[in-house]
Chains A and B, each alone.
Chain A
């Protein structure tokens, strides 16, 4: 039973354009959401998070949007850079004691 879903396994974007990665969840009790970035042969690294009391959080080129009614969050990367090419995982938790991860979206930024 996948509580966090990333329905796009891959995404290709031209350098300088916007990358939009999507994530859906099923459990309305989730109250904290995170995005992680993973390069091959490395562990995931934290990118950005958002609490359920907010609908937007911005950090430099990265913005996460949360739509609680739709149980949907998205990560926007503007402008996209070749170094952003990686697998992106969204994760959700309730009380921060167990994090549920999506299956990941592989982003390729084309120079």
Chain B
């Protein structure tokens, strides 16, 4: 596809369940980012990949959060033992460039609701 694709668009999980969110970036884009957006807030950085290398994971809120991009294309964000505070929209973005001037192209997001 032409844009960043995320699935599922909506996910309802019971507290304690594990969830996996998928991101298909724009073909050929080197950089991939995951952001978390809580209601009424701006996107907050979670983690960044350059190809398959996870260069920055400083934004992951706890060790229950794990992201991978094994072949430098599709990425998965996994949240283990979900908690209610994990409820948010998870945005994936990709960029063709590394470094300074790469604009981010965002997907539509995966809205996670933890009951």
A residues near B (Cβ < 8 Å) are 4, 6, 31-32, 34, 36, 41-46, 49, 51, 89, 91, 93, 95-104
Chain B residue with Cβ nearest A31:
B100
Contact check, A32 vs B42: say whether CB atoms are below 8 A apart: no
**B97 within 8 A of partner (CB):** yes
Contact check, A44 vs B100: say whether CB atoms are below 8 A apart: no
- The smallest beta-carbon distance between A29 and chain B, in angstroms, is 12
Contact check, A101 vs B44: say whether CB atoms are below 8 A apart: yes
B: interface residue count bin = 20 to 34
A40 to B98, CA, bound (A): 29
Sample of 14 A–B contacts (CB below 8 Å): A6-B42, A34-B104, A41-B108, A45-B106, A46-B103, A46-B105, A95-B100, A96-B101, A97-B55, A98-B45, A98-B59, A99-B104, A101-B35, A103-B42
